[in-house]
């Protein structure tokens, strides 16, 4: 076909498309899209208006006072918290306590240090970094998360200064959520009775090869996320393989071939800090003499589900021994873990 014929064909096609466009516009303007079905025409499909209602609040230069638990948000009824952001600048601000009480709890089911609750250990001030789920965008401020925290009969969010802070401090916050919000984890729709829980083990000291449960729940649910920080006199504690015991199993389901492997790192995190939607290293000391040998990291299980129907136990070990072989020379190690689950 010649260039001239091609042009003619394109012109004809354009004329046809234009005519169809004009006809469709005229049809819509004639009232055929009002929702009524007319003979010879198709009814227009309209997306239903979502029933969700937005709620939220903020604090601008609010005051946190030593010894006082300040209420940041309180809402009656049912819904889901979907966003938190916090700002401040004082020594120890990363240890500020954030508590979320749902359904009239007297003791908060979510009670977190500000930094560790966002995957950050050892007060690491590195920024900016962020994912769709959590991040830190400033120094020292701008910590956020988009954890979905459902509630059925009211929610209250509070903040308290760390015990070592003795003067009032200026604080900023944004809290937001929706009513009638269907919570999903990795495409799995959660029942309306599902609640987000936080299990903490803080400053636990283990002897070499000693094991510790970082989660032991008897309920039904999904593992949501894990944050971990540890310190020792070498990094051989990272040889530990994370063990899962779902539904009362006696033998473990192995979740990793090493601690840094569980957090998607490798070779004792020798490539440095990283932050991605599934996992991140938020603090990492160098592997050399004189180092404090500390690390902190987070890991989400939204797209890597770990379900349980009759309880779940997660066990971490200080170093690793398999079939009589000890990997490296683990030393006494102190760790803190945050384990998040949805349970119902």
Spatial distance between the Cα atoms of 335 and 294, rounded to a whole number of angstroms = 10
Given this model, what pLDDT does residue 30 score? 39
Given this model, what pLDDT does residue 45 score? 57
Asked if 141 and 87 count as a contact pair (C-beta separation under 8 A), the reply is yes
List Cβ neighbours of 42 (8 Å cut-off, separation of 6 or more).
none
User: 199: buried, middle or exposed (CB in 10 Å: 19+, 13-18, 0-12)?
Assistant: middle
Given this model, what pLDDT does residue 140 score? 86
Given this model, what pLDDT does residue 43 score? 53
Higher pLDDT, 10 or 171: 171
C-alpha 127: how far from its chain's center?
A: 18
Given this model, what pLDDT does residue 200 score? 98
pLDDT digits (tens, 9 = 90+) for 47-93: 555 689 999 999 999 999 999 999 999 999 999 999 999 999 999 99
Given this model, what pLDDT does residue 34 score? 37
Q: What is the mean predicted confidence (pLDDT) over 124-141?
A: 96
Residue 10: pLDDT above 60?
Answer: no
Higher pLDDT, 116 or 23: 116
Domain ranges of the chain: 1-46, 54-182, 186-343
Given this model, what pLDDT does residue 13 score? 37
Given this model, what pLDDT does residue 25 score? 40
Given this model, what pLDDT does residue 50 score? 64
Residue among 260, 239, 240 at smallest CA distance from 252: 240
pLDDT digits (tens, 9 = 90+) for 295-304: 999 999 999 9
- Other C-beta atoms lying within 10 Å of the C-beta of residue 8: 12
Residues facing 169 on adjacent strands: 64
54-182 and 186-343 have identical folds: yes
Asked if 214 and 244 count as a contact pair (C-beta separation under 8 A), the reply is no
pLDDT digits (tens, 9 = 90+) for 213-242: 999 999 999 999 999 999 999 999 999 999
User: Does a cis peptide bond (omega within 30 degrees of 0) precede residue 128?
Assistant: yes
Q: What angle do CA 38, 40, 41 make, to 5 degrees?
A: 60
User: Does a cis peptide bond (omega within 30 degrees of 0) precede residue 140?
Assistant: yes
Structure tokens at 309: 């129907």
Given this model, what pLDDT does residue 35 score? 39
Spatial distance between the Cα atoms of 313 and 243, rounded to a whole number of angstroms = 8
Given this model, what pLDDT does residue 49 score? 52
Spatial distance between the Cα atoms of 197 and 341, rounded to a whole number of angstroms = 5
Given this model, what pLDDT does residue 168 score? 98
Higher pLDDT, 311 or 30: 311
| Averaged confidence pLDDT in the chain | 89
Domain 186-343 has CATH 2.60.120.620: no
Which CATH topology does 54-182 take? Jelly Rolls (2.60.120)
Spatial distance between the Cα atoms of 99 and 111, rounded to a whole number of angstroms = 4
Q: Is the pTM of this model over 0.75?
A: yes
Given this model, what pLDDT does residue 51 score? 86
C-alpha 275: how far from its chain's center?
A: 12
Report the percentage of the chain scoring pLDDT > 90.
Answer: 85
Given this model, what pLDDT does residue 7 score? 38
Residues facing 197 on adjacent strands: 341
Backbone angles phi, psi at 179, to 5 degrees: -90, 155
Higher pLDDT, 258 or 29: 258
Residue 42: pLDDT above 80?
Answer: no
pLDDT digits (tens, 9 = 90+) for 149-198: 999 999 999 999 999 999 999 999 999 999 999 999 999 999 999 999 99
Residue 341: pLDDT above 50?
Answer: yes
């Amino acid at each position: 076909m010649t260039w001239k014929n091609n042009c003619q064909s394109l012109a004809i096609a354009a004329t046809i498309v234009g005519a169809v466009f004009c006809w469709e516009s005229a049809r819509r303007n004639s009232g055929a899209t009002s929702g009524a079905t007319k003979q010879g025409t198709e009814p227009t499909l309209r997306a239903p208006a979502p029933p969700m209602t937005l709620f939220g609040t903020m604090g601008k230069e609010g005051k946190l006072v030593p010894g006082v638990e300040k209420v940041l948000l309180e809402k009656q009824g049912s819904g889901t918290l979907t966003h938190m952001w916090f700002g401040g600048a004082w020594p120890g601000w990363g240890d500020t306590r954030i508590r979320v009480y749902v359904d009239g709890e007297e003791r908060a089911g979510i009670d977190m240090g500000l930094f560790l609750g966002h995957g950050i250990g050892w007060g690491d001030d590195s920024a900016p970094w962020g994912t769709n789920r959590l991040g830190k965008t400033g120094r020292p401020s701008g910590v956020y998360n988009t954890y979905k925290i459902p509630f059925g009969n009211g929610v209250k969010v509070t903040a308290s200064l760390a015990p070592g802070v003795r003067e009032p401090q200026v604080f900023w916050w944004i809290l937001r959520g929706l009513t009638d919000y269907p919570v999903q984890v990795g495409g799995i729709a959660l029942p309306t009775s599902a609640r987000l829980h936080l299990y903490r083990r803080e400053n636990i000291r283990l002897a070499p090869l000693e094991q510790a449960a970082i989660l032991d729940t008897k309920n039904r649910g999904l593992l949501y996320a894990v944050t971990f920080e540890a310190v020792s006199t070498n990094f051989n504690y990272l040889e530990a393989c994370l063990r899962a015991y779902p539904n009362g199993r006696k033998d473990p389901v192995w979740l990793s071939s090493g601690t840094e492997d569980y957090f998607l790192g490798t070779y004792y995190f020798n490539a440095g800090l990283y932050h991605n939607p599934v996992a991140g290293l938020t603090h990492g000391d160098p592997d050399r003499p004189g180092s404090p040998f500390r690390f902190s990291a987070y890991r989400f299980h939204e797209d890597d589900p770990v379900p349980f129907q009759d309880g779940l136990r997660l066990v971490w070990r200080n170093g690793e021994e398999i079939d009589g072989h000890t990997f490296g020379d683990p030393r006494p190690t102190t760790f803190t873990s945050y384990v998040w689950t949805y349970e119902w």
